[in-house]
A and B are shown apart, each in its own frame.
Chain A
Amino acid sequence: MPSQERPLSPHLQVYRWQLTSVMSIFHRMTGVALAVGTLLLVYWLIAAAVGPGAFAAAQEFIGSILGRILLFGWTVALFYHLCNGIRHLFWDAGRGFELRAAYASGWAVVIVTVVLSVIAWIAGYAAMGGA
Protein backbone atom coordinates (compact mmCIF):
# COMPACT_ATOMS: atom_id res chain seq x y z
CA MET A 1 0.00 0.00 0.00
CA PRO A 2 1.33 3.47 -0.83
CA SER A 3 2.15 5.56 2.23
CA GLN A 4 1.35 8.81 0.40
CA GLU A 5 -1.29 9.81 -2.11
CA ARG A 6 0.96 10.10 -5.12
CA PRO A 7 -0.42 10.74 -8.61
CA LEU A 8 -0.85 7.61 -10.67
CA SER A 9 0.32 7.37 -14.22
CA PRO A 10 -1.35 6.68 -16.59
CA HIS A 11 -4.54 8.06 -15.00
CA LEU A 12 -7.12 5.79 -16.58
CA GLN A 13 -10.16 8.12 -16.33
CA VAL A 14 -8.54 10.88 -18.37
CA TYR A 15 -6.32 8.68 -20.48
CA ARG A 16 -6.57 8.88 -24.25
CA TRP A 17 -6.33 5.36 -25.57
CA GLN A 18 -3.75 4.69 -28.26
CA LEU A 19 -3.17 1.67 -30.46
CA THR A 20 0.25 1.09 -28.91
CA SER A 21 -0.90 0.93 -25.28
CA VAL A 22 -4.03 -1.09 -26.08
CA MET A 23 -1.92 -3.60 -28.00
CA SER A 24 0.51 -3.79 -25.10
CA ILE A 25 -2.18 -4.78 -22.59
CA PHE A 26 -3.71 -7.15 -25.15
CA HIS A 27 -0.34 -8.89 -25.42
CA ARG A 28 -0.54 -9.67 -21.70
CA MET A 29 -4.20 -10.66 -21.80
CA THR A 30 -3.70 -13.02 -24.75
CA GLY A 31 -0.62 -14.46 -23.04
CA VAL A 32 -2.61 -15.30 -19.91
CA ALA A 33 -5.51 -16.62 -22.03
CA LEU A 34 -3.13 -18.88 -23.97
CA ALA A 35 -1.65 -20.18 -20.71
CA VAL A 36 -5.18 -21.14 -19.63
CA GLY A 37 -5.76 -22.61 -23.10
CA THR A 38 -2.89 -25.06 -22.62
CA LEU A 39 -5.27 -26.91 -20.28
CA LEU A 40 -7.35 -27.92 -23.31
CA LEU A 41 -4.25 -28.98 -25.26
CA VAL A 42 -3.02 -31.15 -22.37
CA TYR A 43 -6.49 -32.62 -21.86
CA TRP A 44 -6.71 -33.43 -25.58
CA LEU A 45 -3.28 -35.14 -25.60
CA ILE A 46 -4.11 -37.18 -22.49
CA ALA A 47 -7.47 -38.17 -24.00
CA ALA A 48 -5.72 -39.36 -27.16
CA ALA A 49 -3.28 -41.38 -25.05
CA VAL A 50 -6.03 -42.93 -22.88
CA GLY A 51 -8.04 -44.36 -25.77
CA PRO A 52 -10.83 -43.97 -28.31
CA GLY A 53 -13.57 -43.37 -25.71
CA ALA A 54 -11.77 -40.54 -23.93
CA PHE A 55 -10.68 -39.10 -27.27
CA ALA A 56 -14.27 -39.11 -28.57
CA ALA A 57 -15.41 -37.24 -25.43
CA ALA A 58 -12.66 -34.63 -25.92
CA GLN A 59 -13.52 -34.24 -29.61
CA GLU A 60 -17.20 -33.87 -28.71
CA PHE A 61 -16.42 -31.03 -26.29
CA ILE A 62 -14.10 -29.28 -28.77
CA GLY A 63 -16.74 -29.65 -31.49
CA SER A 64 -19.55 -28.24 -29.30
CA ILE A 65 -20.64 -24.60 -29.59
CA LEU A 66 -18.76 -23.67 -26.40
CA GLY A 67 -15.71 -25.63 -27.57
CA ARG A 68 -15.68 -23.88 -30.93
CA ILE A 69 -16.07 -20.43 -29.34
CA LEU A 70 -13.17 -21.15 -26.97
CA LEU A 71 -11.06 -22.57 -29.78
CA PHE A 72 -11.76 -19.58 -32.01
CA GLY A 73 -10.82 -17.21 -29.18
CA TRP A 74 -7.59 -19.11 -28.63
CA THR A 75 -6.84 -19.08 -32.37
CA VAL A 76 -7.11 -15.29 -32.43
CA ALA A 77 -5.15 -14.98 -29.16
CA LEU A 78 -2.43 -17.29 -30.49
CA PHE A 79 -1.96 -15.43 -33.77
CA TYR A 80 -2.10 -12.07 -31.99
CA HIS A 81 0.47 -13.08 -29.37
CA LEU A 82 2.64 -14.66 -32.08
CA CYS A 83 2.59 -11.62 -34.39
CA ASN A 84 2.89 -9.05 -31.61
CA GLY A 85 5.60 -11.19 -30.02
CA ILE A 86 7.63 -10.92 -33.24
CA ARG A 87 7.02 -7.13 -33.07
CA HIS A 88 8.43 -7.19 -29.52
CA LEU A 89 11.46 -9.17 -30.66
CA PHE A 90 12.24 -6.46 -33.23
CA TRP A 91 11.98 -3.86 -30.46
CA ASP A 92 14.33 -6.00 -28.34
CA ALA A 93 16.81 -5.77 -31.21
CA GLY A 94 16.45 -1.97 -31.10
CA ARG A 95 14.42 -1.65 -34.30
CA GLY A 96 11.09 0.00 -35.05
CA PHE A 97 10.87 2.38 -32.10
CA GLU A 98 9.92 5.45 -34.17
CA LEU A 99 6.30 6.47 -33.62
CA ARG A 100 5.40 5.93 -37.26
CA ALA A 101 7.06 2.49 -37.32
CA ALA A 102 5.40 1.46 -34.03
CA TYR A 103 1.96 2.33 -35.43
CA ALA A 104 2.65 0.68 -38.80
CA SER A 105 3.82 -2.56 -37.16
CA GLY A 106 0.85 -2.38 -34.76
CA TRP A 107 -1.71 -2.21 -37.56
CA ALA A 108 0.20 -4.91 -39.44
CA VAL A 109 -0.15 -7.19 -36.40
CA VAL A 110 -3.91 -6.52 -36.20
CA ILE A 111 -4.44 -7.22 -39.90
CA VAL A 112 -2.24 -10.33 -40.02
CA THR A 113 -3.94 -11.70 -36.89
CA VAL A 114 -7.39 -11.38 -38.48
CA VAL A 115 -6.23 -12.80 -41.82
CA LEU A 116 -4.42 -15.81 -40.30
CA SER A 117 -7.31 -16.60 -37.93
CA VAL A 118 -9.83 -16.56 -40.78
CA ILE A 119 -7.54 -18.65 -43.03
CA ALA A 120 -6.96 -21.22 -40.25
CA TRP A 121 -10.70 -21.65 -39.66
CA ILE A 122 -11.59 -21.82 -43.34
CA ALA A 123 -8.84 -24.43 -43.81
CA GLY A 124 -10.11 -26.33 -40.75
CA TYR A 125 -13.65 -26.48 -42.08
CA ALA A 126 -12.30 -27.45 -45.51
CA ALA A 127 -10.31 -30.30 -43.93
CA MET A 128 -13.45 -31.49 -42.14
CA GLY A 129 -15.48 -31.33 -45.34
CA GLY A 130 -12.87 -33.32 -47.20
CA ALA A 131 -12.61 -36.02 -44.53
Chain B
Amino acid sequence: MNQAGRAFRSDLARVRGLGSAKEGVQHWWMQRVTAIALVPLTLWFVIAVVAHTGADYVTTRAWLGSPVTFGLMVLLIGATFYHAALGLQVVIEDYVHSEGRKVAIILTVKLACLVLALAAIIALLVLGFEESPAKVDEFSVQPVGPSSQGEVQELQDPSIALDPRFRGGDAANVG
Protein backbone atom coordinates (compact mmCIF):
# COMPACT_ATOMS: atom_id res chain seq x y z
CA MET B 1 0.00 0.00 0.00
CA ASN B 2 2.08 2.91 1.25
CA GLN B 3 5.28 2.63 -0.72
CA ALA B 4 8.24 4.97 -0.63
CA GLY B 5 7.07 7.61 -3.16
CA ARG B 6 3.56 8.18 -1.81
CA ALA B 7 3.93 7.29 1.84
CA PHE B 8 1.77 10.07 3.21
CA ARG B 9 -1.35 9.64 1.06
CA SER B 10 -3.80 6.79 1.40
CA ASP B 11 -5.21 5.05 -1.68
CA LEU B 12 -8.55 6.77 -1.07
CA ALA B 13 -6.96 10.22 -0.96
CA ARG B 14 -5.25 9.62 -4.29
CA VAL B 15 -8.39 8.60 -6.17
CA ARG B 16 -10.80 11.02 -4.52
CA GLY B 17 -12.11 13.54 -7.06
CA LEU B 18 -10.81 11.57 -10.05
CA GLY B 19 -14.17 10.26 -11.28
CA SER B 20 -15.36 10.80 -14.85
CA ALA B 21 -16.77 14.28 -14.24
CA LYS B 22 -15.83 14.54 -10.53
CA GLU B 23 -19.35 15.55 -9.54
CA GLY B 24 -21.74 12.80 -10.61
CA VAL B 25 -22.33 11.33 -7.16
CA GLN B 26 -23.02 14.75 -5.69
CA HIS B 27 -25.57 15.47 -8.43
CA TRP B 28 -27.30 12.09 -8.01
CA TRP B 29 -27.27 12.31 -4.23
CA MET B 30 -28.60 15.86 -3.95
CA GLN B 31 -31.39 15.03 -6.41
CA ARG B 32 -32.51 12.28 -4.00
CA VAL B 33 -32.02 14.41 -0.88
CA THR B 34 -34.12 17.26 -2.31
CA ALA B 35 -36.70 14.72 -3.57
CA ILE B 36 -37.16 13.29 -0.07
CA ALA B 37 -37.38 16.79 1.42
CA LEU B 38 -39.99 17.75 -1.18
CA VAL B 39 -42.35 14.87 -0.32
CA PRO B 40 -43.63 16.41 2.96
CA LEU B 41 -43.09 19.99 1.78
CA THR B 42 -45.22 19.64 -1.37
CA LEU B 43 -47.94 17.77 0.51
CA TRP B 44 -48.05 20.56 3.11
CA PHE B 45 -48.04 23.20 0.35
CA VAL B 46 -50.91 21.65 -1.61
CA ILE B 47 -53.03 21.17 1.52
CA ALA B 48 -52.32 24.73 2.70
CA VAL B 49 -53.04 26.30 -0.70
CA VAL B 50 -56.24 24.30 -1.08
CA ALA B 51 -57.32 25.44 2.39
CA HIS B 52 -56.72 29.07 1.34
CA THR B 53 -58.51 28.83 -2.02
CA GLY B 54 -60.55 31.96 -2.56
CA ALA B 55 -59.17 33.67 0.57
CA ASP B 56 -58.95 37.48 0.39
CA TYR B 57 -55.73 39.49 0.34
CA VAL B 58 -55.53 40.16 4.06
CA THR B 59 -56.04 36.50 4.98
CA THR B 60 -53.60 35.23 2.34
CA ARG B 61 -50.99 37.75 3.36
CA ALA B 62 -51.35 36.93 7.04
CA TRP B 63 -50.95 33.24 6.20
CA LEU B 64 -47.88 33.75 3.97
CA GLY B 65 -46.37 36.13 6.51
CA SER B 66 -46.72 33.86 9.52
CA PRO B 67 -43.40 32.44 10.81
CA VAL B 68 -44.23 28.77 10.18
CA THR B 69 -45.43 29.41 6.63
CA PHE B 70 -42.40 31.61 5.98
CA GLY B 71 -39.98 28.89 7.13
CA LEU B 72 -41.68 26.07 5.25
CA MET B 73 -42.03 28.20 2.09
CA VAL B 74 -38.32 29.09 2.10
CA LEU B 75 -37.47 25.37 2.45
CA LEU B 76 -39.96 24.51 -0.30
CA ILE B 77 -38.56 27.15 -2.66
CA GLY B 78 -34.96 26.15 -1.95
CA ALA B 79 -35.57 22.41 -2.42
CA THR B 80 -37.81 22.95 -5.47
CA PHE B 81 -35.36 25.07 -7.44
CA TYR B 82 -32.36 22.95 -6.43
CA HIS B 83 -34.26 19.82 -7.54
CA ALA B 84 -35.47 21.54 -10.74
CA ALA B 85 -31.97 22.71 -11.68
CA LEU B 86 -30.56 19.19 -11.21
CA GLY B 87 -33.42 17.53 -13.09
CA LEU B 88 -33.45 19.99 -16.00
CA GLN B 89 -29.68 19.59 -16.32
CA VAL B 90 -30.07 15.83 -16.91
CA VAL B 91 -32.83 16.38 -19.47
CA ILE B 92 -30.70 18.93 -21.35
CA GLU B 93 -27.64 16.67 -21.24
CA ASP B 94 -29.71 13.85 -22.75
CA TYR B 95 -31.27 15.77 -25.63
CA VAL B 96 -28.86 18.59 -26.54
CA HIS B 97 -25.82 17.09 -28.23
CA SER B 98 -23.84 20.13 -29.36
CA GLU B 99 -21.36 20.77 -26.54
CA GLY B 100 -21.42 24.57 -26.77
CA ARG B 101 -25.20 24.82 -26.87
CA LYS B 102 -25.51 22.26 -24.07
CA VAL B 103 -23.29 24.26 -21.72
CA ALA B 104 -25.02 27.53 -22.66
CA ILE B 105 -28.53 26.13 -22.04
CA ILE B 106 -27.56 24.47 -18.74
CA LEU B 107 -26.00 27.71 -17.48
CA THR B 108 -29.07 29.71 -18.54
CA VAL B 109 -31.44 27.27 -16.85
CA LYS B 110 -29.38 27.21 -13.65
CA LEU B 111 -29.21 30.99 -13.59
CA ALA B 112 -32.99 31.18 -14.13
CA CYS B 113 -33.55 28.75 -11.23
CA LEU B 114 -31.32 30.84 -8.99
CA VAL B 115 -33.01 34.11 -9.95
CA LEU B 116 -36.51 32.66 -9.48
CA ALA B 117 -35.59 31.18 -6.10
CA LEU B 118 -34.12 34.49 -4.92
CA ALA B 119 -37.13 36.44 -6.23
CA ALA B 120 -39.50 34.11 -4.36
CA ILE B 121 -37.48 34.35 -1.15
CA ILE B 122 -37.32 38.16 -1.36
CA ALA B 123 -41.11 38.20 -1.81
CA LEU B 124 -41.43 35.91 1.24
CA LEU B 125 -39.14 38.21 3.26
CA VAL B 126 -41.36 41.16 2.41
CA LEU B 127 -44.44 39.13 3.36
CA GLY B 128 -42.82 37.92 6.58
CA PHE B 129 -41.23 41.12 7.82
CA GLU B 130 -43.34 43.93 6.46
CA GLU B 131 -46.26 44.26 8.83
CA SER B 132 -49.30 42.48 7.50
CA PRO B 133 -52.36 44.75 7.22
CA ALA B 134 -54.26 42.16 9.23
CA LYS B 135 -51.96 42.70 12.20
CA VAL B 136 -51.73 46.47 12.13
CA ASP B 137 -54.72 46.96 14.36
CA GLU B 138 -53.49 44.33 16.74
CA PHE B 139 -50.16 46.02 17.46
CA SER B 140 -50.68 49.70 16.76
CA VAL B 141 -50.36 51.88 19.82
CA GLN B 142 -52.76 54.33 18.28
CA PRO B 143 -55.74 52.44 16.88
CA VAL B 144 -56.40 54.64 13.86
CA GLY B 145 -58.46 53.62 10.86
CA PRO B 146 -56.84 52.74 7.55
CA SER B 147 -58.03 55.96 5.92
CA SER B 148 -56.27 58.27 8.35
CA GLN B 149 -53.23 56.10 8.93
CA GLY B 150 -51.13 57.65 6.12
CA GLU B 151 -51.64 61.21 7.40
CA VAL B 152 -50.89 60.22 10.97
CA GLN B 153 -47.65 58.59 9.96
CA GLU B 154 -46.35 61.74 8.28
CA LEU B 155 -46.73 63.70 11.49
CA GLN B 156 -44.83 61.15 13.54
CA ASP B 157 -41.14 61.10 14.37
CA PRO B 158 -39.32 59.49 11.37
CA SER B 159 -37.61 56.98 13.66
CA ILE B 160 -40.98 55.63 14.70
CA ALA B 161 -41.86 55.07 11.05
CA LEU B 162 -38.85 52.75 10.73
CA ASP B 163 -40.23 50.46 13.41
CA PRO B 164 -42.31 47.89 11.55
CA ARG B 165 -44.82 47.76 14.37
CA PHE B 166 -45.74 51.38 13.71
CA ARG B 167 -45.83 51.12 9.94
CA GLY B 168 -49.32 51.28 8.59
CA GLY B 169 -48.48 51.98 4.94
CA ASP B 170 -50.06 48.78 3.66
CA ALA B 171 -53.24 49.26 5.60
CA ALA B 172 -53.86 52.42 3.61
CA ASN B 173 -53.90 50.33 0.42
CA VAL B 174 -56.59 47.99 1.59
CA GLY B 175 -60.03 49.01 0.42
Q: Which residues of A contact B (CB under 8 A)?
A: 1, 28, 31-32, 34-35, 38-39, 41-42, 45-46, 48-49, 51-53, 55-56, 75, 78, 82, 85-86, 88-89, 92, 120, 123-125, 127-128, 131
List, sorted by A's number, 24 A–B pairs whose CB atoms are closer than 8 Å: A1-B97, A28-B91, A31-B88, A35-B88, A38-B80, A45-B64, A45-B73, A45-B127, A46-B119, A46-B120, A48-B61, A48-B123, A48-B127, A49-B124, A52-B174, A52-B175, A56-B57, A78-B42, A92-B32, A120-B46, A123-B53, A127-B51, A127-B52, A131-B55
The main secondary structure of chain A at its interface with chain B is helix
Determine whether the beta carbon of B173 is less than 8 Å from that of A51: yes
CB interface residues, B 139-175, toward A, < 8 Å:
170, 173-175
Residues of chain A within 8 A (CB-CB) of B42 are 78, 82
A-B contact count (CB 8 A): 90
Within the complex, which residue of B35, B43, B54, B84 is in contact with A38, where a contact is CB–CB below 8 Å?
Answer: B84
Q: Which residues of B contact A (CB under 8 A)?
A: 32, 35-36, 38-39, 42-43, 46, 50-55, 57, 60-61, 64, 73, 80-81, 84, 87-88, 91, 97, 113, 116, 119-120, 122-124, 126-127, 130, 170, 173-175
Residues of chain A within 8 A (CB-CB) of B38 are 82, 85
Determine whether the beta carbon of A128 is less than 8 Å from that of B173: no
Residues of chain A within 8 A (CB-CB) of B57 are 48, 52, 55-56
